Amino acid sequence: MRNAPDSIKVPSFVSISMQILPLWPISMALSQLARDLLRTHPQILNRIDKYQNQKFMLDITDLPFALLLDPAQARLRAFRRSAAPEADARISGTLAAFLAMLHGVEDGDSLYFSGVLQIEGDTSAVLALRNALDDAELDLSEEIARALPLLAPPLRLALAPLERLTGLHLRRVPLEVY
Amino acid sequence: MDLTIAPNPFFWSAESVRRFYDGLADAPVARVVVGELVCSKRLPFWQNEIPQAVEFLQAAGKQVALTSLALITLRRERKLTADLLGMGLPVEVNDLSALHHIPAGMPFWVGPLVNVYNEGTLRWLARRGAERICLPPELPMASIAVLAGIAQAEGVALEVWGHGRLPLAISARCYHARLHERAKDSCQFVCEEDPDGRDVDTLEGQQFLTVNGVQTLSQSYACMAEHVAEYQDMGVSALRLQPQSVGFHTICDDYAQLLAGDLPANALIETLSAAHPDMQFCDGYGHCGTGASWSHGASSARNVPTGCS
Amino acid sequence: MELVCPAGTPAALRAAVDAGAHCIYCGFADETNARNFPGLNFSRAELADAVGYAHARGAKVLVAINTFPTAGHEALWHSAVADAERAGADAVILADLGLLAYAAEHHPDLRRHLSVQAAAANPDAINFYASAFDVRRVVLPRVLSVEEIAAINREIDVETEVFVFGGLCVMAEGRCSLSSYATGRSPNMNGVCSPPEHVDYATDGAESVARLGGFTIHRTPKGEAAPYPTLCKGCFTSGDKTGHVFEDAVSLDASTLVPRLAKAGVTALKIEGRQRSRAYVAQIVRAFRAVTDALEAGRTPPELALARLSEGQAATTGAYAKTWR
């Protein structure tokens, strides 16, 4: 079943509890994930091409922090919005929208046309990133399991119930879903 | 270099057409392309002026050609195109389908609405019988330089856009009718109300485009005076001026003086700006490629971006 | 009827094949094709792999080399044609006279389709391209009504392909310089229209302003969904009228016209959208495949609910209905 990504929000008890957590462990884990992901999918950087050095702010509106992606340095770090550095481009939307786009459930343009995703700054760079990630056919759950092997067994067990519970698309969708 | 007068893209009354071509007889121009370029529905209103205009212009020593329509879709329009060939004048092809009617070996001209972007296309057209080719206005200088060389080798006279609102697009939809909330088939010829087209501004009042029936033009008047010396060096053989309802004969005189070296480009631009204070000019296709930009800096126009983007 | 589907990336091509596309069109990652966007299109190696994937599953691959070669740089376009043939492409989609002549002379066995960018809008134009360059299929410009398409098919010997879904050009394609007038880059020369690097979003009071090359294309209340600032879909003022002078922010959906297009003699149905994601491609292809399958089986085609995927979330049947003009 497909959920409209604009109707799903991260539950507030989750985002509130995240507010009090320190961000550096998250940044470390995310950067580990980014490095691993770019290493195993070299075509991503090829497609981003001349926009590699741009900094992308992924502003996931229902999380208490925004993510700064620096493809050239293979870095993905979390920042409180009040302390977020300048970026060349900013993509804002719900976690559900980001995950649905990444996993091939939703079309990025459609999310943009309907206002679920907003874009500011270097539009070309955003397009390059979007197209590169779309071509990579990522499955975030698999990538996390590979990048952070300790998490793999519990993640595999929790995935299906977690998807049901949250309504988020945590895995790449097989085509039959459409 | 000499001057070619483009077909008038606008809808003028028969009387205005007659006055316009009568006046051109003593203008310092080498050739004139006449006929309906934009909309076949307009033709019945003024086509009776064509034979007399041709006769007049030829008697005055001008070369005359007949243009095809820019977009041919209807059966009636195809027949009209086929009929052009029987007039004993060269046809200027502005829709490639006109070539279907031109027998191999019969010479023809190619207008700026045919996509001639490169050597291969120019050579193919030359070998098919093209005698003159006017390049599309959006072509960059570097392309014109390359094509001028090829044209000379192929024995084709190469022409570039010199003056007038740039023909930017052609459509099946009539924007004049749409602005009057009418269907194209019942347009009641509203484009006749606007002898230089109907201006379209942005929501912030920037002068932007001009609609002319199914055609879209730049609202700025292209003035390529600044680039004429370069064209001459490249071996371009003619400059094309597009008819406008006001001051056109002076414009012909000025450009003729410019080509002859009797009037510097700066002086032409100054004269032109003084005579037409409401007109916005552009020449960006000649330098940075952004057609709307104007190398002579700020103009009287309302906050139009004049730089190169 | 044959379904011709877009692919901007190898992943989108696989999605199209898996979703039932008979035919996929794509282009190289340079100025030779009319969807020259950042992060999009195929390398030579990717194309060869993609052709292998499609052929193994009974689908064809067409390579669009449909911009107009730049004077002095024709070699880039010539090598694109040669590389498409080497990769095993089933046809190339071309628009430029010179390139058509080159392909016919140097790659006579490579099937040639006439791109919509050539804007061949009547039987004379089509017969001209067919006889001069042995073009086997023509992609018709989006300026014709269904009746006109039927009339054209009665007078020509080559196949016709028409757009049924996706972005809608209101101008005759391949004959529009609006984009280079405002930004210096055009579909004909650079394979881009209203290019993203010339888009600028600003805030003015309670409104978001979208400009292209410095020209205001639209203003929308802040926070409201805004269409991409494509030049001809902008909101402008002319005299006492303010509105979408050229076209609203809508896209084409001719799914309900498919039976009539079949009757009009159309061979192939084309879906626009090489710049869209694999999710889009999969959904649209699957939906249209249901339509063509139903038609083949003599059933009534299902009604499609695709508005959510359209720009402006609104659709038109465009010039196929004569009143559009």
Chains meeting C at 3+ CB pairs closer than 8 A? A, B
Has residue B192 got a pLDDT over 80? yes
* Closest CA in chain A for residue C11: A135
Q: Which residues from B are below 8 Å from C127, CB to CB?
A: 100
Query: Which CATH number is correct for B2-166+222-279, 3.40.50.300, 3.20.20.70, 2.60.120.620, 3.40.50.2000?
Result: 3.20.20.70
Interface of B with C in 69-128 (CB under 8 A): 71-73, 75, 77-78, 81, 95-101, 113, 115, 117-125
Q: Which residues from C are below 8 Å from B289, CB to CB?
A: 180, 184-185
pLDDT on residue C312: 58
Has residue B272 got a pLDDT over 90? yes
Q: Domain ranges in chain C? A: 2-168+250-324, 178-243
By residue range, what is the domain housing residue A23? 14-169
For chains C and B, tell me whether 3 or more CB atom pairs sit within 8 A of each other: yes
For chains A and C, tell me whether 3 or more CB atom pairs sit within 8 A of each other: yes
How many whole angstroms separate alpha carbon C123 and alpha carbon B88? 25
- The shortest CB-CB distance from C70 to any of B115, B118, B284 is to B118
Cβ B125 vs Cβ C97: under 8 Å: yes
Phi-psi region of C250 (alpha: psi -120 to 50; beta: other; left: phi over 0): beta
pLDDT above 90 covers a percentage of chain A that reads 47
Contact A134 C11 (CB under 8 A): yes
Cβ C132 vs Cβ C98: under 8 Å: no
pLDDT digits (tens, 9 = 90+) for B39-90: 999 999 999 999 999 999 999 999 999 999 999 989 999 999 999 998 899 9
pLDDT digits (tens, 9 = 90+) for A37-54: 999 999 999 999 999 999
How many whole angstroms separate alpha carbon C75 and alpha carbon C64? 16
Cβ C37 vs Cβ A131: under 8 Å: yes
How many whole angstroms separate alpha carbon C131 and alpha carbon C119? 17
Domain count, chain A: 1
CATH T-level topology, domain C2-168+250-324: TIM Barrel (3.20.20)
Q: Which residue has the higher pLDDT, A21 or B164?
A: B164
Over residues B135-141, the mean pLDDT reads: 97
How many whole angstroms separate alpha carbon B72 and alpha carbon C247? 21
pLDDT on residue C295: 92
Question: Which of the four pLDDT bands, split at 50, 70 and 90, describes residue B302?
Answer: very low
Q: Which residues from C are below 8 Å from B215, CB to CB?
A: none
CA-wise closest residue to B95 among B49, B36, B137: B36
How many whole angstroms separate alpha carbon C275 and alpha carbon A138? 19
CA distance B247 to chain C (A): 24
CA Rg, chain C, in Å?
Answer: 19
Q: Which residues from B are below 8 Å from C238, CB to CB?
A: 179, 198-201, 211
Question: Which of the four pLDDT bands, split at 50, 70 and 90, describes residue C231?
Answer: very high
pLDDT digits (tens, 9 = 90+) for C150-203: 999 999 999 999 999 998 888 999 999 999 999 999 999 999 999 988 998 888
CA-wise closest residue to B6 among B108, B112, B103: B112
pLDDT on residue A23: 83
- Write out the two tokens for B227: 């680039």
CA-wise closest residue to A145 among A135, A130, A159: A159
Q: Which residues from C are below 8 Å from B184, CB to CB?
A: 325
Q: CATH code at A125?
A: 3.30.1050.10
Interface of C with B in 151-170 (CB under 8 A): 151, 170
pTM of the shown model: 0.94
Please count the residues of chain C. Answer: 325
Residues ≥6 apart with Cβ < 8 Å to C34: C27, C64, C66, C67, C115, C117, C187, C191
Whether the CA torsion B162, B166, B170, B174 is positive or negative: it is: negative
CA distance A137 to chain C (A): 7
Over residues A119-148, the mean pLDDT reads: 91
Question: Which of the four pLDDT bands, split at 50, 70 and 90, describes residue A146?
Answer: confident
Residues ≥6 apart with Cβ < 8 Å to C285: C3, C5, C15, C16, C19, C20, C21, C271
Q: What are phi and psi of B257, to 5 degrees?
A: -65, -35
Q: What is the mean pLDDT of chain B?
A: 94
Packing angle, helices A140-147 and A152-166, rounded to 10:
150
DSSP conformational letter for B245 = S
Q: Looking at A146-160, C36-50, C202-216, C277-291, which range is the least confident one?
A: A146-160
Over residues C229-242, the mean pLDDT reads: 94
pLDDT on residue A159: 82
Has residue A1 got a pLDDT over 60? no
Question: In this complex, is the C-beta atom of C18 within 8 Å of any C-beta atom belonging to chain A?
Answer: yes
Q: What is the mean pLDDT of chain C?
A: 93
In a mutational test of the B interface, the residue from C66, C96, C124, C128 whose CB has the highest number of chain B CBs within 10 Å is: C124
* Closest CA in chain C for residue A126: C38
Question: In this complex, is the C-beta atom of C289 within 8 Å of any C-beta atom belonging to chain A?
Answer: no
Cβ C62 vs Cβ C92: under 8 Å: yes
- Cα angle B41, B42, B46 (rounded to 5 degrees) comes to 140
Q: Which residues from C are below 8 Å from B100, CB to CB?
A: 124-125, 127-128
How many whole angstroms separate alpha carbon A68 and alpha carbon A86? 9
Over residues B217-230, the mean pLDDT reads: 97
Q: Which residues from B are below 8 Å from C107, CB to CB?
A: none
Has residue A162 got a pLDDT over 90? no
pLDDT digits (tens, 9 = 90+) for A73-84: 999 999 998 888
Contact A131 C37 (CB under 8 A): yes
pLDDT digits (tens, 9 = 90+) for A2-24: 455 666 777 776 776 666 677 88
Cβ B218 vs Cβ B206: under 8 Å: no
Contact B216 C213 (CB under 8 A): no
For chains A and B, tell me whether 3 or more CB atom pairs sit within 8 A of each other: no
Q: Looking at A157-161, B66-70, B152-156, C242-246, which range is the least confident one?
A: A157-161
Question: In this complex, is the C-beta atom of C39 within 8 Å of any C-beta atom belonging to chain A?
Answer: yes
Question: In this complex, is the C-beta atom of B209 within 8 Å of any C-beta atom belonging to chain C?
Answer: yes
Burial classification of residue A25, based on how many CB atoms lie within 10 Å of its CB (0-12 exposed, 13-18 middle, 19 or more buried) = exposed
- Write out the two tokens for C82: 């040669």
Q: How many CB pairs under 8 A join B and C?
A: 226
Q: Looking at A11-25, B52-66, B134-148, B214-228, which range is the least confident one?
A: A11-25
Write the DSSP assignment of chain B as a string of letters.
Answer: -EEEEPPP-S---HHHHHHHHHHHTTSS-SEEEES--S-GGGHHHHTTHHHHHHHHHHHTT-EEEEEPPSS--SHHHHHHHHHHGGGSSPEEESSGGGGGGS-TT--EEE-TTS---SHHHHHHHHHHTEEEEEPPTT--HHHHHHHHHHHHHHT-EEEEEEEEEEEEEEESS-HHHHHTT--GGG-TTGGGG-TT-EEEEETT--EEEEEETTEEEEEEEEE-GGGHHHHHHHT--EEEE---SSSHHHHHHHHHHHHHTSS-HHHHHHHHHHH-TT--EE-GGGTTS-TT--TT---SSSS---S--
Over residues C26-34, the mean pLDDT reads: 94
Interface of C with B in 285-324 (CB under 8 A): 319, 322-324
CA distance A97 to chain C (A): 13
- Cα angle A30, A34, A35 (rounded to 5 degrees) comes to 120
Give the residue carrying structure tokens 């009797």. B262
pLDDT on residue B301: 46
Has residue B306 got a pLDDT over 60? no
Contact C279 A105 (CB under 8 A): yes
Q: What are phi and psi of B253, to 5 degrees?
A: -60, -45
Interface of C with B in 21-80 (CB under 8 A): 68-72, 74
pLDDT on residue C307: 67
pLDDT on residue A3: 52
Burial classification of residue C226, based on how many CB atoms lie within 10 Å of its CB (0-12 exposed, 13-18 middle, 19 or more buried) = buried
Chains meeting B at 3+ CB pairs closer than 8 A? C
Contact C72 B71 (CB under 8 A): no
Phi-psi region of A56 (alpha: psi -120 to 50; beta: other; left: phi over 0): beta
Contact C308 A135 (CB under 8 A): no
Residues ≥6 apart with Cβ < 8 Å to C127: B100, C155, C156
Question: In this complex, is the C-beta atom of C268 within 8 Å of any C-beta atom belonging to chain A?
Answer: no
Beta bridge partners, B33, equal B65
- Write out the two tokens for C219: 């203003």
- The shortest CB-CB distance from C311 to any of A108, A113, A132 is to A113
How many whole angstroms separate alpha carbon B7 and alpha carbon B50? 12
Over residues B235-251, the mean pLDDT reads: 97
Question: Which of the four pLDDT bands, split at 50, 70 and 90, describes residue A115?
Answer: confident
